[in-house]
């Protein structure tokens, strides 16, 4: 079975400080992993994806994530938060050979000026 | 030139009614999806079509019936609406099925059943 656990439902950071959004997954085989962002009243946008290439994945807007198989983690980071980063972030897993995505419960990021 | 569009954006209706949500993508993608996002922001896939054929059908009440007249459109019809159907419904598309292809999401349709 596959599942995704986002360890924090809400993260609050000051503008200019680092961002860390944590995600752990369980999957029977080597999965594909994604981070999507949802700004208020908007659809979801892909930030980055891991599909068994380099374990450190760079995405849009300065975000990156590292796939750690030994820890079954795929944490999302950004060195310096911007006000426009305030949004809901979803960690997503897709098992090998699957067509569908399994979403985590989301982490709401608040950026304090 | 919106990539994935949905209509309507908001839908308020009473229990027992039948309603439809429409989705169109102009990306030339073969695969389209419907997701439901509940009040706790949890997103779950409902259906997926590839070239007008159903490929994913999760455990969804049969009051929900997707229809794909062509590969650019995937509509969702809901019969006998219930309070628990209140949610935001997202349409998405991808070039082809499978996890390696980015899914592009529409802006969502917020359905409220009273």
Tell me the residues of chain A between 30 and 89 that have a Cβ less than 8 Å away from chain B: 31-32, 36, 41-46, 49, 51, 88
pLDDT over threshold 70, residue B29 = yes
| Residue pair A88/A29 in contact by the 8 Å Cβ criterion | no
- For B57-74, letters b (16+ CB in 10 Å) and e give eeeeeeebebebeebbbb
Tell me the residues of chain B between 31 and 90 that have a Cβ less than 8 Å away from chain A: 31, 33, 40-45, 48, 55-56, 58, 90
pLDDT recorded at residue B58: 78
Give residue-wise pLDDT tens across range B47-62: 888 888 888 777 788 9
| Residue pair B94/B29 in contact by the 8 Å Cβ criterion | yes
Q: pLDDT grade, residue B114 (50/70/90)?
A: very high
pLDDT over threshold 90, residue B43 = no
* Assigned token pair, B43: 């997103």
Query: Of the candidates B98, B88, B107, which has an alpha carbon nearest to the alpha carbon of residue B24?
Result: B107
CA distance B73 to B83: 27
Residues facing residue A78 across a β-bridge: A19
* Assigned token pair, A97: 């050979």
Using a CB–CB cutoff of 8 Å, tell me whether A90 touches chain B: yes
* Closest residue, chain A, to B57 (C-alpha): A100
Query: Of the candidates B43, B52, B112, B53, which has an alpha carbon nearest to the alpha carbon of residue B83?
Result: B112
Tell me the residues of chain B between 88 and 107 that have a Cβ less than 8 Å away from chain A: 90, 92, 97-100, 102-103, 105-107
Give residue-wise pLDDT tens across range A74-95: 999 999 999 999 999 999 988 7
* Closest residue, chain B, to A40 (C-alpha): B107
Question: What integer is the mean pLDDT of A51-59?
Answer: 86
């Amino acid at each position: 079975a596959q599942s995704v656990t986002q360890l924090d439902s809400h993260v609050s950071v000051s503008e200019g400080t680092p961002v860390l959004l944590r995600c752990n997954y369980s999957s029977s085989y080597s999965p594909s992993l994604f981070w999507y962002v949802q700004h208020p009243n908007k659809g979801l946008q892909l930030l980055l994806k891991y599909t068994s290439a380099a374990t450190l994945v760079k995405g849009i807007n300065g975000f990156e994530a590292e796939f750690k198989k030994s820890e079954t983690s795929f944490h999302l980071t950004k060195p310096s938060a911007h006000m426009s980063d305030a949004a809901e972030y979803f960690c997503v897993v897709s098992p090998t050979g699957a067509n569908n995505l399994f979403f985590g419960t989301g982490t709401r990021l608040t950026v304090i000026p | 030139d919106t990539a994935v569009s949905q209509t309507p954006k908001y839908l308020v209706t009473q229990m027992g009614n039948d309603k439809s949500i429409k989705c169109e993508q102009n990306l030339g993608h073969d695969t389209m999806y419907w997701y439901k996002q509940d009040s706790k922001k949890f997103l779950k896939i409902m259906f997926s079509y590839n070239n007008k054929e159903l490929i994913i059908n999760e455990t969804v009440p049969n009051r929900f019936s997707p229809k794909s007249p062509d590969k650019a459109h995937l509509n969702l019809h809901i019969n006998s609406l219930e309070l628990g159907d209140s949610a935001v419904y997202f349409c998405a598309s991808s070039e082809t099925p499978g996890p390696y292809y980015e899914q592009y999401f529409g802006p969502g349709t917020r359905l409220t059943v009273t």
